[in-house]
Amino acid sequence: MNNSRRNFIRQSATALAGTTLATAIPAESTAAIPGNMPIAQADKLRFGVIGCKGMGWSDMRAHLALPEVDCVALADVDQSVLDQRSNDVFKLRGNKPQTFKDYRKMLEMKDLDAVIIGTPDHWHCLGFTDSLAAGKHVYCEKPISANIEECNVMLRAARRHPKLMVQVGQWQRSGTHYDQAHTYLKSGKLGNIRLVKVWAYQGWMNPVPVLPDSTPPPGVDYDMWLGPAPKRPFNANRFHFNFRWFWDYAGGLMTDWGVHEIDIALFFMGAKAPKSIMASGGKLAYPDDASETPDTLQTVFEYDNFNMLWEHATGIDGGNYGKTEGIAFIGNNGTLVVNRSGWELIPETKRSDEGIRVNKIDALPYQAKGTPDYVQLHAQNFVEAIKKGDPSILRCGIETGAVAAINAAMGNVAFKLGRKVLWDAEKGEFKNDLEANALAKARYHNGWKLPG
């Protein structure tokens, strides 16, 4: 970013602060932010995307709701995805971004300010550390990694670049109704909280059909897609969205959905690291489908003064309290249940601590009609942090993302071992457990090396 652009961005930060995306309009080459300040094309924040198929594009589209953001570059191993997203940007803005099959070439762009990382999970660490080393701000999809070692590498990389903003795509942190629920929890009215239930029941998930290996689609650089993952023949089941259900690339629902919900649970409880973890489950719903990660899982995390129970199930929606996903804080006086639809209070009718009474509150809507989507609020928060040069205002910085990802990864370690594991928070490793610590490591293949 050149000096004139940097100065403009800092000067316009005050104009942006306090606005909402409800007032934002699609940006053209001379779009305006609130206050009718025109934004010249040269003064916009220039974004690039690594991995443009699913969440990468969803995140970019949320940022393009802000008039001071432009998409100038796209990187993806699939030429058909590059063509599609290039056309999508043209429809929104009237200009086509540069496209790259190798993201490292994109990072050589001198005027690129920020990068969105929407690749499969096994590519997050490399894309993240390379982007920071190239001097770019980073918006990284969750989980930041499916293994503990990469999480720590990414933490150290971010600390080496304190002037670069890092936002993790755990956008529930930008949900105002989560703030409301948190405020109530801190009031103490629930009494002592002894158990937190966290769950994701995914009724939309069908079995992954067994498919034969095949050749990669035309225009796909499959070797680049594999990157540090083990060398395997191409299989359509492992490509694009379904990579989530294979250990080579991700951690299943434990890390995919788990980081969202576990993040909120630990944030509300002021906890970071468990003392022990045990897990049980497996492929109980679809034992013969092509996926590897468990479709049914219960994981118990022991923290100081409370336990947390994570559970997930595919193919059914009948989760706790009649909700497909959410977090329940179970106290002596009542239970607070919060999810993406809102929050509610369920009184404990037979007792209360010190005469404190919890009144029933039916589910409150997560947002009023006409207010902006929380993914867009998360994007706006990232842009505000860049403009102000202030990482303290980020709703989900790298430290927050790492806590959620590491805890979720611990659950998968316990599941793979089939036994209870103990965590040494001071050393940042499993306690006297060579097997567990081996599973916490990243394994790089095909000549790729874990960033130093």
The architecture CATH gives domain 176-368+402-439: 2-Layer Sandwich (3.30)
| Spatial separation of the C-alpha atoms in residues 403 and 425, rounded to whole Å | 12
When pLDDT is cut at 50, 70 and 90, the band that residue 159 belongs to is: very high
Residue 421's closest CA among 405, 438, 401?
A: 438
The CATH code that applies to domain 3-118+374-395 is: 3.40.50
| Whole-number pLDDT of residue 397 | 98
Lowest mean pLDDT among 11-25, 50-64, 84-98: 11-25
In whole angstroms, what is the distance from residue 395 CA to residue 414 CA? 30
d(CA 313, CA 385) in angstroms, rounded, equals 37
3-state secondary structure of 216: coil
pLDDT in the model for residue 354 = 56
Determine the Cα–Cα distance for residues 180 and 409; give it in Å rounded to an integer. 29
Those residues whose C-beta lies under 8 Å from the C-beta of residue 104, and which sit 6 or more positions away, are 130
Nearest to 273 by CA among 186, 172, 402: 402
The pLDDT of residue 430 is above 90: yes
pTM to 2 decimal places: 0.90
User: Residue 202 and residue 189: Cα distance in Å, rounded?
Assistant: 32
Cis, bond preceding 143 (omega within 30 deg of 0): yes
254-265 burial: b if 16+ Cβ within 10 Å, else e? bbbbbbbbbbbb
Mean pLDDT computed over 39-63: 92
Q: How far apart are CA 329 and CA 209, in angstroms?
A: 37
Please state whether 191 falls in left (phi above 0), alpha (psi between -120 and 50) or beta. left
What is the predicted pLDDT for the residue at 9?
45
Q: Is the pLDDT of residue 61 over 60?
A: yes
- Kindly compute the dihedral angle of the four CA atoms of residues 67, 68, 73, 74, in this order, to the nearest 10 degrees: -50
248-300 pLDDT per residue, tens = 999 999 999 999 999 999 999 999 999 999 999 999 999 999 999 999 999 99
Amino acid at position 391, single letter: P
Percent of the chain with pLDDT over 70: 86
Statement: residue 245 has pLDDT above 70 = yes
pLDDT band at 204 (very low <50, low <70, confident <90, very high): very high
pLDDT digits (tens, 9 = 90+) for 66-84: 999 999 999 999 999 999 9
Query: Cα(243)–Cα(113) distance, rounded to whole angstroms?
Result: 29
Contact indicator for 353, 192 with CB cutoff of 8 Å = yes
**pLDDT at 23 (0 to 100):** 32
140 Cβ neighbours under 8 A, 6+ residues apart: 116, 117, 124, 127, 128, 166, 167, 168, 169, 401
Q: What local confidence, expressed as pLDDT, does residue 21 receive? A: 34
DSSP string, 83-108: HHHHHHHHHHHS-PPEEESSHHHHTT
What integer best gives the mean pLDDT of the chain? Answer: 90
Other beta carbons within 10 Å of 402: 22
Closest to 160 measured CA to CA, from 122, 139, 131, 183: 131
User: For the chain, how many residues are written?
Assistant: 452
Whether pLDDT at 8 is above 70: no
Cα gap 153→378, rounded to integer Å: 24
Tokens 């202030």 sit on residue:
390
End-to-end CA distance of the chain: 26
Query: Using CA atoms, how far apart are residues 267 and 400, in angstroms rounded to an integer?
Result: 9
Overall average pLDDT of the 413-436 stretch: 98
Please give the DSSP secondary-structure letter assigned to residue 353.
Answer: G
Report residue 371's pLDDT band, with 50, 70 and 90 as the boundaries: low
Contact 316, 191 (CB under 8 A): no
By mean pLDDT, which of 41-50, 270-279, 285-294, 303-312 is the weakest? 41-50
Residue 43 has pLDDT above 90, yes or no: no
CA torsion, ordered 316, 320, 323, 326, to nearest 10 deg = -110
What per-residue confidence (pLDDT) applies to 150?
98
- Measure CA 102 to chain center: 23
Phi/psi of residue 9, nearest 5 degrees: -60, -45
| Comma-separated ranges of CATH 3.30.360.10 domains in the chain | 176-368+402-439
Give the residue-averaged pLDDT of 398-414.
Answer: 98
What average pLDDT does the segment 127-132 reach? 98
Q: In sequence order, which residues have a C-beta less than 8 Å from that of residue 440 and are 6 or more positions away?
A: 147, 148, 149, 409, 413, 429, 430
Within 91-192, strands assigned E span 98-100, 114-117, 137-140, 166-168
**Residue 164 carries which DSSP code?**
S
Task: Tell whether the model's pLDDT for residue 37 goes beyond 80.
Answer: no
50 and 103 Cβ atoms separated by less than 8 Å: yes
When pLDDT is averaged across residues 398-422 and rounded to a whole number, the result is: 98
4/399: higher pLDDT:
399
Per DSSP, 326 falls in state E
Distance, in Å, from the CA atom of 87 to the CA atom of 158, rounded to the nearest integer, reads 33
